Amino acid sequence: MNNNTVDGDEAPLLAPPTQQEAFDVVIIGAGLAGCTAARLFALDGLHVALVEHHADIAAFKQLCTHFIQASATPTLRRLGLDQLIEDAGGLRNGVDIWTRYGWTGDVAPLDQNGEPVFGYNIQRRTLDPILRQLTSHTPGVTTMFGCGVRALVKQDGVVSGVELGGSRTGVVSAPLIVGADGRNSPLAALTGIQPASSENSRFGAIRAYRGVTLRRGTCSQMWLRGPEIGYVFPNDGGVTVIAYMATKDKLDGFRTEPGEALERSMAGFPDAPDLSAAEPVGNALLVKDYPNLWRPAAVGNVAFVGDALMSIDPLWGVGCGFAFQTAEWLVDTLTPALRQGRPISPALQRYAKRVSRQLRGHRFLILDYARRHGFNAIERLTFSAAAKDTAASRHLHAFGARIIGPAKFLSPGALVRAAWVDLRQPAARSAQPDAPV
């Protein structure tokens, strides 16, 4: 998580005149979204300044599920990153989900050709340096590590660049400024753009281990039991990430020894992993409060991607996938105007509309569940059917992997079929009807 903040009341909004370096695009933040945008813009022939406050190219985001949704795999292939992930030991992911209705099974969604689709599990300590190296060696990308944004530069009332501080000073200017600088986005603070927010009723604990004994194979696993959620994410290097979320009334039991509380809580799930001989890798991270935040996709000639655009409940693991995808959407929408020297306002409006069209439904459902402590009637129906029927499970996993959107997932035909399965099929053997839902 990027915790850097800039106080817009203290930092000047208008930098003094200084020598400038001109680019086609200036991107603030060299995480997943920033590097994706930088590399793809450069591959399209544009000159990009990539500004990152970390001086070390090997820096990585620690608070992450390390789960990349299958919806982002086409973007990874376009970047040339998919093979690098596999060469580094990243695992093609699927997920098996348990509810009171039983296990859904690790049933992969299918693409338009009927082939199974997948994302990747890979530690950010592995992924982030690989992507930064790949981006840094892309012709057309100028990397500026160890730099922060001190102020905005405006021309005729429009942001035309940023003044840098740190290892490199001066002004970098461009027709398009991109905020890829994380959840707390210093660029957004400087522009005065406040995020919208909503409550997340849960806290979370996460820790990595070596030597975890899994009882459901090597796929990712997830438990949804009333207000409690558990996860297992096998990763590269024999490391397994274990995570647990619950409503905040259980937080006091985690404050003193979050690692022990995490292990104790996970042990109560059916078919839970055996952590008795596992070796912890680092300390347990305890996230006490994680409200949902989201910003406009574009304001003036400033656009946002990744967590700077939307950072919402990590329960569903959409952050990495949407970071890659929003960056790609921005590139595809803005590149023609930038290459032809045309005004970019119409293209930014199209980008904002695409973001709304693609993400609004997902965000609505995620925000709604973040306030609740269990399933609603439709969720009970779909998870019950998925535990009994392969086709219903594949449909659920297609939505979970963000291959399909809420409209298709909740279509009348899909719900009628789920109701038919639920009425006709017996309960799964792994069901626990008395468990919370």
Residue 13, pLDDT score: 35
Answer yes or no: is pLDDT of 17 > 80. Answer: no
**419 and 301 assigned to the same domain:** no
Q: Please report whether residue 365 resides in a domain.
A: no
Q: pLDDT by residue (tens digit) across 160-208?
A: 999 999 998 999 999 999 999 999 999 999 999 999 999 999 999 999 9
Answer yes or no: is pLDDT of 12 > 60. Answer: no
Q: Please report whether residue 93 resides in a domain.
A: no
> Considering 232, 257, 287, which residue would you say is the last residue of a domain?
287
**45 and 154 assigned to the same domain:** yes
Q: pLDDT by residue (tens digit) across 116-158?
A: 999 999 999 999 999 999 999 999 999 999 999 999 999 888 9
> Considering 257, 287, 317, which residue would you say is the last residue of a domain?
287
Q: Please report whether residue 397 resides in a domain.
A: yes
Domain ranges, residue 277: 202-287
**29 and 143 assigned to the same domain:** yes
**55 and 151 assigned to the same domain:** yes
Answer yes or no: is pLDDT of 48 > 50. Answer: yes
**282 and 389 assigned to the same domain:** no
Residue 261, pLDDT score: 97
Residue 19, pLDDT score: 61
Q: pLDDT by residue (tens digit) across 77-117?
A: 999 999 999 999 999 999 999 999 999 999 999 988 899 99
**142 and 276 assigned to the same domain:** no
**282 and 158 assigned to the same domain:** no
In angstroms, rounded to a whole number, what is the distance separating the alpha carbons of residues 91 and 79? Answer: 18
Give me the number of domains the chain comprises: 3
**136 and 176 assigned to the same domain:** yes
> Considering 244, 271, 287, which residue would you say is the last residue of a domain?
287
Q: Please report whether residue 267 resides in a domain.
A: yes
**152 and 244 assigned to the same domain:** no
Q: pLDDT by residue (tens digit) across 361-381?
A: 999 999 999 999 999 999 999
Residue 62, pLDDT score: 87
In angstroms, rounded to a whole number, what is the distance separating the alpha carbons of residues 313 and 245? Answer: 11
**37 and 141 assigned to the same domain:** yes
Q: Please report whether residue 110 resides in a domain.
A: no
In angstroms, rounded to a whole number, what is the distance separating the alpha carbons of residues 369 and 374? Answer: 8
Answer yes or no: is pLDDT of 20 > 60. Answer: yes
262: domain CATH number? Answer: 3.30.9.100
**pTM passes above 0.85:** yes
Q: Please report whether residue 98 resides in a domain.
A: no
User: pLDDT-derived band of residue 3, with 50, 70 and 90 as boundaries?
Assistant: very low
320: domain CATH number? Answer: 3.50.50.60
**188 and 309 assigned to the same domain:** yes
Q: 102: buried, middle or exposed (CB in 10 Å: 19+, 13-18, 0-12)?
A: buried
Q: Please report whether residue 133 resides in a domain.
A: yes
Q: Please report whether residue 109 resides in a domain.
A: no
**166 and 260 assigned to the same domain:** no
